[in-house]
Amino acid sequence: MKVTAYKTPIVKANDDLKQIIKGTIKSLPERSVVVIASKIFSTCENRFVEKTDNPNQKYDLIKNEANAYTDPHSSKYGLMMTIKRNILFVNAGIDESNAENKYILWPENPQKSVNDIWEFLRKEYGVKEVGVTMSDSASQMLNWGVVGRAIAYCGFNPLRSYVGTKDLFGKEMKMEKTNVMQSLTDAAVLEMGEGAEQTPIAIVEDITNIEFLDHVPTKEELDELVIDIKDDAFAPILTKAEWHQN
């Protein structure tokens, strides 16, 4: 697998993301996945909020943006654990870095935005088999440092199932699935960086064992990614949190 991160001009509010992509990516190989940072989607959508003197402004924004959240006093760092698009994120993905002293929110509709870029790439570059993911960075339990996470995807099967196959010693696998969407995005974010690299777009190519699709994800396909909190392997932890529903 090969990952290449691309430097772009500094993206500003209301810029045209498609024009940025055209100016950055000169050619796009078949059977590749384009990973784009959520922040430049948000910037182009002008999803900025000016900071005020209200000490609770960020907490109020987080409550509004999250599907479920914990109180900030439950964290020694004043952070809020949140669930958004069925992914566990700190502070509902609201960020302050590279945001010119403002808060920047996730895109309004990540799935719609990714679907639109997927259709644009197929038309602009004449490729048939191509994927797109929207990336953000997230913490993981019991480890320092953030890793890449996909918020939305399009153009490929996000899961590779081993259910019904046998392992090296003939044991039938019952539950094992690889999350292709998250694995590819994590690798790309490592190359894209977290600071002032100015490389918010990456192309992942030479991918083995990926199934490309010729349609935007259906509701049924999106639902296959979702685990109910009660059925999650981390349910003993997740269900003990004092979640507030939005």
CATH number of 2-245: 3.30.1330.100
Q: 17-24 vs 110-125: helix axis angle to the nearest 10? A: 40
pTM, two decimals, is 0.94
> What is the full DSSP assignment across 23-75?
HH-S---TTEEEEEEHHHHHHHTT-EEE--S-TTHHHHHHHHH-SEE--GGGS
Which pLDDT belongs to residue 147? 94
Q: Quick: pLDDT tens for 116-166.
A: 999 999 999 999 999 999 999 998 889 999 999 999 999 999 999 999 999
Q: Domain segments of the chain: what residues?
A: 2-245
CB 187 within 8 A of CB 3: yes
The band of 207, judged by pLDDT with boundaries at 50, 70 and 90, is: very high
Q: Which residue has the tokens 């409550």?
A: 63
Which pLDDT belongs to residue 101? 84
The pair of structure tokens assigned to 189 is 């974010």
Phi and psi (nearest 5°) for 63? -60, -40
Q: Quick: pLDDT tens for 71-119.
A: 998 889 989 999 999 999 999 999 887 777 899 999 999 999 999 999 9
**C-alpha span between 89 and 73 (Å, rounded):** 17
Q: Which residue has the tokens 């935007």?
A: 216
**C-alpha span between 84 and 93 (Å, rounded):** 8
Average pLDDT over residues 17-29: 97
Using alpha carbons, select from 44, 48, 43 the residue that is nearest to residue 16.
44
The band of 226, judged by pLDDT with boundaries at 50, 70 and 90, is: very high
